[in-house]
């Protein structure tokens, strides 16, 4: 119910309608409305970032947005949305208590990758990989004899060739049959939360490095998580943060390319 009795110029009247919610990421949102004379709307309308002024309201919340509605009789209602809250920053900006103040998401998908990059063929010799490359490029053709190929290069035009390594021979046979790719499993782990702090440089410097993925499911010891990205959206006096990790294939991320994040 709108309270208007005794409304005077320069007066902003709270409508006793303060409501507040806290989500599972620790963000607090509050809604408050005021009325004033239409001519005072510009001067009295709370400014973005101003603290909540409703009696009994959370003064640590700040204004995120407001709208003005004409309610007749030379009066307007100003509806204000305040935000704030969030957790104190630790290593990645959220509480260390499991499930406290943050939301997690696991996204699993597949993508086509060159078959020679499959973990099954990771130990092929350099010589076998070169010849697999010839086969891929069409410089090597299979003959009618199983497991035999004809190599056509400047140095070995028409030379008969066989792979002696069992897995190299298996891979060559698949490529010769037109199997050039496989479906690789991709797993992305996301953590979203609201913080009282902007991300620190220490956290940002971990992007592109192997780190512990907060709250992620257990994986085999030969796999690890790569910290691949972070996004921050400022809202009022708090920050909505999203962090993302990608799970490696068997054998883990290349240690020479993705050095483990240092504290």
User: In whole angstroms, what is the distance from residue 18 CA to residue 79 CA?
Assistant: 11
What is the per-residue burial (b if ≥16 Cβ within 10 Å, else e) of 185-218?
eebbbbbbbbbbeebeeebeebeebbbebbebee
**The two structure tokens encoding residue 149:** 């190929």
Our measurement of the distance from residue 167's CA atom to the centroid of its chain's CA atoms, rounded to an integer in Å, reads 37
For the segment 29-38, the average pLDDT, to the nearest whole number, is 90
Q: Residue 89: CB partners within 8 Å, gap ≥ 6?
A: 195, 196, 197, 200
Element (H, E) at 42: helix 41-44
Query: 116-138: per-residue pLDDT in tens?
Result: 999 899 899 999 999 899 888 88
pTM above 0.75, yes or no: no
pLDDT band, residue 89 (cuts 50/70/90): very low
Cα separation of 228 and 190, whole Å? 10
At residue 111 the predicted structure's pLDDT band, cuts being 50, 70 and 90, is very high
- Quick count: other Cβ atoms within 10 Å of Cβ 21? 9
* pLDDT at residue number 21: 85
Find the radius of gyration of the CA atoms of the chain: 31
Alpha carbon distance 179, 172 (integer Å): 10
For the chain, the average pLDDT equals 83
**Is residue 175 within a helix (H) or strand (E), and if so which, with residue range?**
helix 166-176
Q: pLDDT per residue over 154-202, tens digit each?
A: 665 677 878 889 999 999 999 999 999 999 999 999 998 888 778 888 8
Among candidate residues 178, 194, 189, the one with its CA nearest the CA of residue 108: 189
């Amino acid at each position: 119910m709108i309270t208007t009795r005794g409304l005077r110029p320069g007066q902003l009247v709270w409508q006793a309608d303060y409501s507040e919610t806290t989500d599972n990421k620790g963000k607090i949102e509050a809604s408050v409305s005021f009325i004033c004379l239409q001519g005072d709307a510009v001067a009295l309308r709370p400014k973005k970032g101003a603290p909540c002024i409703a009696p009994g309201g959370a003064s640590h919340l700040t204004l995120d947005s407001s709208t003005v509605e004409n309610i007749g009789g030379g009066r307007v209602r100003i509806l204000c949305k305040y935000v704030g809250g969030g957790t104190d920053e630790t290593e990645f900006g959220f509480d260390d208590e499991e499930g406290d103040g943050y939301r997690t998401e696991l996204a699993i998908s597949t993508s086509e990758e060159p078959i020679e990059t499959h973990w099954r063929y990771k130990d092929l010799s350099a010589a076998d990989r070169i010849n697999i490359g010839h086969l891929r490029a069409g410089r090597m053709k299979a003959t009618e004899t199983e497991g035999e190929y004809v190599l056509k290069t400047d140095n070995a035009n028409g030379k008969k060739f066989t792979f002696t390594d069992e897995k190299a021979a298996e891979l060559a046979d698949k490529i010769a049959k037109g199997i050039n790719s496989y479906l690789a499993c991709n797993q992305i782990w996301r953590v979203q939360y609201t913080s009282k702090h902007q991300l620190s440089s220490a956290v940002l410097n971990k992007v592109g490095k192997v780190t512990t993925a907060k709250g992620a499911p257990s994986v085999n010891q030969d796999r690890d998580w790569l910290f691949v990205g972070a996004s921050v959206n400022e809202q009022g006096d708090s920050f909505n943060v999203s962090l993302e990790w990608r799970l490696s294939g068997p054998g883990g991320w290349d240690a020479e390319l993705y050095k483990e994040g240092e504290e």
